Chain A
Amino acid sequence: MDWGALHTILGGVNKHSTSIGKIWLTVLFIFRIMILVVAAEKVWGDEQDDFICNTLQPGCKNVCYDHFFPISHIRLWALQLIFVSTPALLVAMHVAYRRHEKKRQFRKGDEKCEFKDVEEIRRQRFHIEGTLWWTYTSSIFFRLVFEAVFMYAFYFMYDGFQMPRLMKCNAWPCPNTVDCFVSRPTEKTVFTIFMIAVSSICILLNVAELCYLLTKFFLRKSRKAGNSKHHPNHENKEETKQNEMNELISDTCQNTVIGFSS
């Protein structure tokens, strides 16, 4: 059980995402999770062992380390990645629920939905519309919120994104103000800036995806409103209803046997 399991869980969401969503997922896995596991963990691996204070007083190093690093960068990133990936599960759950409903319909022998077998329902791709649109949009919104919160927490806790070489500490039991030296400060600064930059890119991707979804939503609404304005006739209203139903059915049933005349 590790990041690979998260990859398996989120991989399923990929099918039902927009293109920007797929790019976001790729950026997440390659530039954040993989970098974290392959590189960053090693840089921070010896952080307390190599944190040296200029004193022989036992306990001073522990206390100073705890004072300057209440929660290590690497743990904060791990939590950020977990929290940011979680909203995508909302979408996965919604899709699973829809599939479950379709399977139920199929088992009942509903004529509206003609699938060759249950496998087709499993492989089917849902379009992002209706309630799924709301779930998807709220998942992107939550992602944005979590990213922003973690970036702010980072900035607030460490007074910026730079790792200092030297910290002065006078917490008890250090006898007076003691110099403490952080291990690998430059490398840590480089990786911190890298992770912050990729976080910002992910935030931009999420904002772009949100704008795209909202634009699509309003365009669809205006198209529907436009259609109903041009055809106020009662007979054409029925036709429009039939057309909508046809769209819905042809969207959800890939291999339809029954033909429709519109």
Chain B
Amino acid sequence: MSWAFLRDLLSGVNKYSTGIGRIWVAVVFLFRLLVYIVAAENIWKYEHDEFECNIKQPGCENVCFDHFFPVSHIRLWALQLIMVSTPSLLVVFHVAYRKNREKHLSQKLYRSPGEIDGGLLWTYLTSLVLKTAIEIVFLVLFYKLYNGFEVPRLVKCDIRPCPNTVDCFISKPTEKMIFLYFLLGTSCLCIALNLSEFSYLIFK
């Protein structure tokens, strides 16, 4: 069970999407999932080991790391990818339901089960709205948790058992910041694609 599952899920959805929907799938695959797996994961791999505080007091580093990174950037990124892809399942379920009904009643009810009309259109629009909402929620979460998308080089920490205010240094802050901006950029692109697909379907 790994990212291949998400890839298969999204490929399945591709069949029933509009043109813009297919571009969205391609953007998610290439610029988000692939970049996450081949590049971003390795940057955050040793973040705890490389987090260094100017103190020998045992436990201080652990406590400070936990205070500044309640949920690591990379885990939030992974959650975002999974949750943003999930509303597409609604469309897959609806199409399967349609095919099932046609088979059960063994008569042609729909022009073709995959064509976006009537009930399937509402499901599709709902999935678009959910996708956009989830993207925005995660972006706001990132912003609120980390005070923006900047990763500082130095953070000052004075939680027990640290004896006083201690300097703690984050590893690879610039590289992390570049990839976080990349994440922000691709999220905004996906939001724009969803909104344009929504207006295209409404005005069609």
Query: Whole-angstrom distance between the alpha carbons of A213 and B101 in the complex?
Result: 51
Q: Does chain A have a CB within 8 A of B2?
A: yes
| Nearest chain B CB to A100 CB, angstrom units | 9
A71 to B179, CA, bound (A): 9
Contact call A48/B50, Cβ cutoff below 8 A: yes
Q: Given A59-B167, A65-B171, A173-B167, A71–B178 Cβ distance below 8 Å?
A: yes
- Roughly how many angstroms separate A9 CA and B10 CA in the complex, as a whole number? 13
Please provide the chain A residues from 1 to 34 with a CB less than 8 Å away from any CB of chain B in the complex. 1-3, 5-6, 9
Cross-chain contact A62 with B52 (CB below 8 angstroms): yes
Q: How far is the CA of A173 from the CA of B154 in the complex (A)?
A: 10
| Least distance between B117 CB and chain A CB atoms (Å) | 16
* Complex Cα–Cα for A89 and B25 (A): 12
Whether the Cβ atoms of B178 and A173 lie closer than 8 Å is no
Is the contact region of chain A dominated by helix, strand, or loop, or is it mixed? Answer: helix
Residue of B33, B53, B170 touching A1 (CB-CB under 8 A): B33
**In the complex, chain B residues whose CB is within 8 Å of the CB of A2:** 34, 37-38
Residues of A within 8 A of B (CB): 1-3, 5-6, 9, 48-49, 57-59, 61-63, 65-66, 69-72, 74-75, 78-79, 82, 85-86, 89, 93, 96-97, 173
Complex: A79 Cα to B30 Cα, angstroms: 10
A135 and B141 CA atoms in complex are apart in Å by 39
Minimal beta-carbon separation of B10 from chain A (angstroms): 10
Known: A1-B37, A86-B30. 7 other contacts (CB 8 A): A1-B6, A1-B29, A58-B167, A75-B175, A79-B39, A93-B22, A97-B19
Nearest Cβ distance between residue B196 and chain A, in whole angstroms?
16
Tell whether, in the assembled complex, residue A62 and residue B54 are in contact, meaning their CB atoms are under 8 Å apart: no
In the assembled complex, 28 residue pairs joining A and B whose CB atoms fall closer than 8 Å, in A order, are: A1-B6, A1-B29, A3-B38, A6-B34, A9-B30, A48-B50, A49-B46, A57-B54, A58-B54, A59-B52, A59-B169, A65-B172, A66-B153, A66-B172, A66-B175, A70-B178, A71-B174, A72-B175, A74-B42, A75-B42, A75-B179, A78-B39, A82-B30, A82-B35, A86-B30, A89-B26, A93-B22, A96-B22
Chain B residues with Cβ under 8 A from A59's Cβ? 52-54, 154, 167-169
Contact mask for chain B residues 1-41; partner A; CB cutoff 8 A; 1 contact, 0 none: 01110110000000000010011001001110111011100
